[in-house]
Amino acid sequence: MTTIWTGLAIGAVYALVAVGYNITMAQSGIFNFTQGQVMVFGCFFAWFTMVDLNLPWWGAAVAGAVVCGLIGLLVELLAVRPVVARHGAHGHALLVTTVGAFVIILGALAATWGRTPKSLPFFGGSETVTLLGGKLSPVDLWLVAIAVVTALAMHLVSGRTSWGLSGRAATDNPDAAKAKGVNVTALRTTAFMLAGALGGLLGPVLAPKVGVSVSIGVSLTIYGFVALALGGFGSYLGCLVGGAAVGLVQASAGRYFGAEYPPLILFGLLVLILLVKPTGLFGHRGLRVV
Amino acid sequence: MRAPRILVAAATAMTVAAGTACGPGTDASAPSGTGPGGKPFKIDVLLGLSGDYAPVGKAMAQGARAAVAVINQQGGVFGKPVEINVIDTAGDPVQAVTQARKLVAGGRPQAVVPGMVTADIMATAPLLTQAKVFMATHGPDPRLNDPKKYPYLFGTTYLRDQMATSLAAEFTAKGFKKVSLITAEKSGSVGAQTIKDVLAPKGITTNIVTVPVTAVDATSQMQQALDLDPDVLVLDSYGPPSAAILQARTKLKPATPTYASQNFSSGDLAQTGPVSAYAGVRLQSLSFAVKGHQTTQTPAFKAFFDAARQQAGGKLEFSMNTYVVTYNDVILAAYAAKLANSTDPAKMTAAIEKASPAQIPYFLGPVNFSPSNHYPSFGPQWWAFTGYNGMDNAQIVPAQP
Amino acid sequence: MSTRQRLSALALDTPAPAIAAFVLVALLPLFGLAGHWQQQLALIAIYTLICSGLNLSFGYAGELALGQVAVFASGAYISAILYQHGFTDILGGFAVAVCLAAVTGLLTGIPGLRLSRWALALVSFFYVLLVPELLKLFESETGGTAGLAGILAPTFFGWPLGTTGFYVVAVVVTLLWMLLQRNLIVSRFGQFLRILSASPTLTESLGGSVYRLRVQAYVIGALPAGLAGVLYTYLTGFVSPEAFTLHLLIALLAATVVGGAASVWGAPVGAAILVLGPLQLKSFEEYSTLAYGVFLVVIGTAFSGGLAGLARKLRDRVLPRPGPQGAGDGESAADLSIPGTRMVVAGVEKSFAGLRALSGVDLTVEPGTIAAIIGPNGAGKTTLLNLVSGLLPADTGRVELAGRELTGLRAHQVSRLGVGRTFQTPVDLGSMSVLEVVESGRFRKGNLGSLSAILRLPKYHRVREADRKAAVAALSFAGLEHAAAQDAASLPLGTRRLLEVVRSVAGEPSVLLLDEPAAGLDDSELRELGMLMRRIRDAGGTVVLVEHNVPFVMDVADQVFAMELGRVIAAGPPEVVRRDQRVIDSYLGRRGRREPADHELDPRTT
């Protein structure tokens, strides 16, 4: 049971990255390469505000949301908008610039706060909790709860609000949506900002779990993507399932086979799902990315 | 036909000119053994001052400068102050090799600290050996302690098997028979195997569990380690995974006695976790990294400690090992020349192989080199086992039992 | 041709300047180039090789597949392992590494067959995580995390290779690869890659198999990374997993983009900046990652051609290109044979998610005639064209060309059997010239001839000559020969639609399918199009036309098929169909308010 809890907790992290990816996917059809790295930024920022500035955790979360929302805005303004204007939303130029933005955030973090990892204790304590016969930390519980709440909330937002619905229309057929008066650019911008803000908001909870270090950006980016691909592009609830699957595979393969195997197994799983069911388990057709 | 001939002639002339121009300019191309009265003794130190390892590299450079200060206080070498030349390799083997080639191209350097991390050192050592350069290194790879392959290379640090021997002694004393060891890729998996090999003849079995370097959670590995119901748990990682491993231990709260190897203790303990996370963990450490240990009461250590703090601007931010390794490298190289009264690598080698502890008083560690063993053997008195109660100037503050 | 022209052609159209530069660099040790500078230049050579591989898959084929680092590692490790086993010959190392690279490139490229864009980029990012794990699994040979050390002196035919010898080998190997790659890029294969990056659908309809082209691009792009791995091992004398990191990948990607991803000679420039540039200064080192990111964003948004693109623009401004040889030297339309054949469509049905698009279509088109398909939107006209050209599979029914069954074949196979087609929206092919665009219509005839192109065998020159002649002939067919040297993208839209037709004509198709060629043309362009189509018919071609412009259709067609709701409701000569009551009711009567067509297969998005 402890293994399952471990898997779910780390899976919750990947699910949250996947939700972040999904926000821009669902609202603009654009894959936001920077999401994982923005979340790492959120961790650093939480460490900075809580350790250096002594802010309470909620203050750090709000400040993080604002700053990371701005980063999302900048990414959209500088790396996405000019390229979409010039080459459309599907060219490979967009890949170069979003990977570039990913690298910029990585470089800025390394230059500002260095490459030595830091740690941030969890504000909710570190007393082990025993639940259903398995042990877990308070931060694990929080993460699982937050992931479920966030995914549900986004699911409702995308299905019930006009913002979510027009996003769906815009990704299904941008020209038709434009003709109906949907402001596609505004949708994209708000989506990037929301995804960024989510990353910043989560900083105080994520940082104690994943650590404050520039080296984790790649794993968050990749495993978050595996979670998204498994769950399905465009589906928030799929993100939860995908995240849980990735976390459980990682925890149990790591436990019963050895550390070399989880990446290999997850890689195989990713390639398999992309080849066999490119929309993922719960994805909707319009958002095939392959 | 004419043009090419002129071209070749010009090229030859330029090559010769270049050769003569840089020839006598450098001290080391003079016949080997520029002894007393020659130019000042110079040690080239290859360190990563930029790139991933920059902060550590800078701390290591401070250690090296501390050694220069101590030696020069004692009159220097050949009656003149010693000089060091710190060269940046960015911790990258390609750049390290490039810099080493550059050094050799300018004539044989008198002594070189051949790199900062294992990758650098493994890349430069063969090349510098080929050029017959005297080397003092803190590279902990046992492959380097091979006087046949690297005749002019000396180590200044403990090798992994010595760390393991110290652990073996401790475990034998406590009656532990079954060890579960958690290590991380890169930093420790090779070392872990060494520990296993050393413990085996003592009748102690070791189960090694590896955590990926990029891991953000080590719970499964910790569970795997505890599955076999070991007598003792050993934490043997270095760098980022250490924090995840310590967290996993806090979470699972095993009753199993826990040790952290020197590999773990030489990391940044304060950033790895809060003091409370170390409750019940015995840290294995080089003795002079433990505050108040008797090996820190010697004049040699005090000289080092004062000089290092002065170089670092008052406070030592990194682990003790960071400063000590390069300090020892420079001390050993300088004393090699001083004892041999020569810069001839063969004579320097012979001098160190024969040296007694009294002859190299400022070396932090045992002086017991031999023609077959170019690394010092750190016996039991150089190892300490202690609880953790925070850090003070790179020293572990022991917990009150 | 004057000497001056000849010199300028030598400088502009051949790699002579680059060869001269490389030879000069290789000879630098004669002029006293110091050992460590040789090291730096050898490192530039290594990075050049990797960047040039990235150019092929990313710059030309348009897919961000970053398996290069894995291939680089495989080359480095295999030569280190060979050395440990006593095989020290550097040429042997190259040979084995190239074979291994081909295999690694194939394996890392397999996901690329089905995936593209984001998914492929992320999958290939994954390789960076996998390399150390795989090296650990084979620890006994690879040394695991500790790596392999002391790989010092390679031999060359049994002679020990000193620093300078190694340097010369590195430069020469790089030059040879660059020349091979350059030959490949200007060949049919290279043109196909450029088309592939713009539109896989267009590639298929020009007779290129998208799968095969992608695999070839990954495999060929992997080869230089394998060579680079061998050079790297002997340069450092040490390999460990730490050398093959994300940082390296990012740096190489930045170098590729800065040099110019879609350019052969951008690679050495980017690599040189990477090794010698300001980022190597100590004060900048901390910011190097940041700077790579800035490069990627700035170049991606503003100068997508990189330095090579800027240089190209500058050159075109300073030295305008001479027109292609062979243009206007008396070749006439008569040189172009258009061997039309009979096309039969029988009982074809097609549904999309339960919606019937075609419900039993029969039609026959004879050679030497123009058949037009008209009908309201949603009648299934474009769907029918897509079925005939193999872009969509039919549910039932068959399509025959001169008695030969086309049903069930893939688009590139159909194309190779002689079906040429145009699309409603001309694909933007970036920097391809008009002549190159038209030549691409010929690619369906014969094979790619990559090998003869790389080695410049006589066959290559023969094929190229024939392609060029046919392209010029096809251009003069449409009166466009004056535009041959221009960038196709710079032409007005109407001319680009004509160009689509001309491209198909150059391929001497048995059947020519035209999808709304007249849309958006002005009157004079319409006249030209009509003339062109009649000339094709008179030369014996079979022309099938889908068109909304009824007057144009009635004017040009010999046979008209009117479609409604997935079936043919009337067929016959224009004047008969025009008077058919059902056609008037369902279509002609309503003409005037035009809507955008649905079910159209936009070649950009598939």
Q: Is there a single domain that holds both residue B217 and residue B233?
A: yes
**Distance to chain A for C477, nearest Cα, Å:** 33
Q: What are phi and psi of C428, to 5 degrees?
A: -75, 115
Domain that holds residue B316: 43-159+298-381
What 3-state class would DSSP assign to C422? coil
Residue A78 forms part of a structural domain: yes
Residue A66 forms part of a structural domain: yes
The more confidently predicted of residues B86 and C128 is B86
Considering its fold, how many domains does chain A have in total? Answer: 1
Cα–Cα distance for residue pair A251/A231, rounded to 1 Å = 18
What is the per-residue pLDDT across C214-256, written as a single tens digit (0 to 9) for each?
888 888 888 999 999 999 998 888 888 878 888 788 888 888 8
Shortest CA distance from B185: residue in chain A: A259
CB contact, 8 Å: B380 with chain C? no
Q: What pLDDT was estimated at residue A90? A: 64
Q: Is there a single domain that holds both residue B259 and residue B392?
A: yes
Cβ count near C571 (within 10 Å): 18
Mean pLDDT of chain C: 80
Q: Is the CB of A119 less than 8 angstroms away from the CB of B272?
A: yes
Helix A92-113 × helix A217-231 angle, to 10°: 140
Q: Is there a single domain that holds both residue B275 and residue B308?
A: no
CATH of the domain at B118: 3.40.50.2300
CB contact, 8 Å: B98 with chain C? yes
Domain that holds residue A234: 2-115+130-287
Residue A121 forms part of a structural domain: no
Cα–Cα distance for residue pair C218/C57, rounded to 1 Å = 6
Give 3-state DSSP helix, strand, coil % of chain C, rounded to 5.
Answer: 60, 10, 30
Q: Which amino acid is at B263?
A: N
Q: Which of A100, A263, A290 sits opposite C296 (nearest CB)?
A: A100
Q: Would you say residue A18 has pLDDT above 90?
A: yes
Q: What pLDDT was estimated at residue C591? A: 55
**Distance to chain B for C244, nearest Cα, Å:** 11
Q: Would you say residue C39 has pLDDT above 90?
A: no
| Cα C301-C304-C307 angle, rounded to 5 deg | 120
Residue B34 forms part of a structural domain: no
Residue A173 forms part of a structural domain: yes
Q: Which of B217, B268, B277 sits opposite A116 (nearest CB)?
A: B268
Q: Is the CB of A259 less than 8 angstroms away from the CB of B216?
A: no
Range with lowest mean pLDDT among A90-94, B253-257, C379-383: A90-94
Cα–Cα distance for residue pair C305/C260, rounded to 1 Å = 5
Q: Is there a single domain that holds both residue B249 and residue B190?
A: yes
Neighbours, chain A (3 or more CB pairs < 8 A)? B, C
Q: Would you say residue A161 has pLDDT above 60?
A: yes
Q: Is there a single domain that holds both residue B171 and residue B286?
A: yes
Residue B372 forms part of a structural domain: yes
Q: Is there a single domain that holds both residue B113 and residue B207?
A: no
Q: Would you say residue A289 has pLDDT above 90?
A: no
* Structure token digits, residue C147: 């790596």
Q: Is the CB of C129 less than 8 angstroms away from the CB of B130?
A: no
Q: Which of A100, A271, A278 sits opposite C297 (nearest CB)?
A: A100
Shortest CA distance from C283: residue in chain A: A111
Q: What are phi and psi of B179, to 5 degrees?
A: -110, 135
Residue B245 forms part of a structural domain: yes
Q: Is the CB of A99 less than 8 angstroms away from the CB of C116?
A: no
Q: Is there a single domain that holds both residue B134 and residue B197?
A: no
Q: Is there a single domain that holds both residue B251 and residue B168?
A: yes
What is the per-residue pLDDT across C485-538, written as a single tens digit (0 to 9) for each?
777 777 887 788 888 888 888 888 888 888 888 887 888 888 888 888 888 888
Considering its fold, how many domains does chain B have in total? Answer: 2
Q: What pLDDT was estimated at residue C333? A: 43
User: Do B236 and B264 form a contact (C-beta atoms < 8 A)?
Assistant: yes
Q: Is the CB of A255 less than 8 angstroms away from the CB of B220?
A: yes
Cα–Cα distance for residue pair C505/B35, rounded to 1 Å = 86
Domain C335-428+492-590 has CATH 3.40.50.300: yes
Q: What pLDDT was estimated at residue C547? A: 87
Cα–Cα distance for residue pair B72/B69, rounded to 1 Å = 5
In chain B, which residues touch A (CB < 8 A)?
52, 54-56, 185, 209-217, 219-221, 223-224, 239-240, 243-244, 247, 250-253, 268, 271-274, 276-277
Residue A167 forms part of a structural domain: yes
Say which residue the tokens 């780390």 belong to.
A10
* Structure token digits, residue C590: 């309503």
Domain with CATH 3.40.50.300 in chain C: 335-428+492-590
Q: Is there a single domain that holds both residue B353 and residue B270?
A: no
Q: Is the CB of C126 less than 8 angstroms away from the CB of A107?
A: no
Cα–Cα distance for residue pair C432/C483, rounded to 1 Å = 12
Q: Is there a single domain that holds both residue B233 and residue B280?
A: yes
Q: Is the CB of A221 less than 8 angstroms away from the CB of C122?
A: yes
What is the per-residue pLDDT across A251-266, written as a single tens digit (0 to 9) for each?
888 778 777 788 888 8
Low-confidence ranges of chain B (pLDDT < 50): 1-36, 187-188
Residue B261 forms part of a structural domain: yes
Residues of A in contact with B212 (CB under 8 A): 254, 259, 262-263
What is the per-residue pLDDT across B182-240, written as a single tens digit (0 to 9) for each?
988 654 456 788 888 899 999 999 988 888 777 778 888 888 888 888 999 999 888 77
Residue A123 forms part of a structural domain: no
CB contact, 8 Å: C606 with chain A? no
Give the bridge partners for B211, in sequence order. Answer: B184
Q: Which amino acid is at B314?
A: G
Q: What pLDDT was estimated at residue B71? A: 92
- Mean pLDDT for A130-156 is 88
Shortest CA distance from B276: residue in chain A: A126
CATH of the domain at A100: 1.10.3470
E-strand ranges in chain A read 129-131, 134-136
**Distance to chain C for B184, nearest Cα, Å:** 10
Q: Is there a single domain that holds both residue B51 and residue B172?
A: no
Give every CB contact of residue C432 below 8 A, 6+ residues apart in sequence. Answer: C191, C194, C440, C487, C488, C489
User: Do A194 and A65 form a contact (C-beta atoms < 8 A)?
Assistant: no
**Distance to chain B for A91, nearest Cα, Å:** 32
Say which residue the tokens 């044979």 belong to.
C337
Q: Is the CB of C36 less than 8 angstroms away from the CB of B94?
A: no
Neighbours, chain C (3 or more CB pairs < 8 A)? A, B
CB contact, 8 Å: A115 with chain B? yes
Q: Is there a single domain that holds both residue B306 and residue B246?
A: no
Cβ count near C104 (within 10 Å): 27
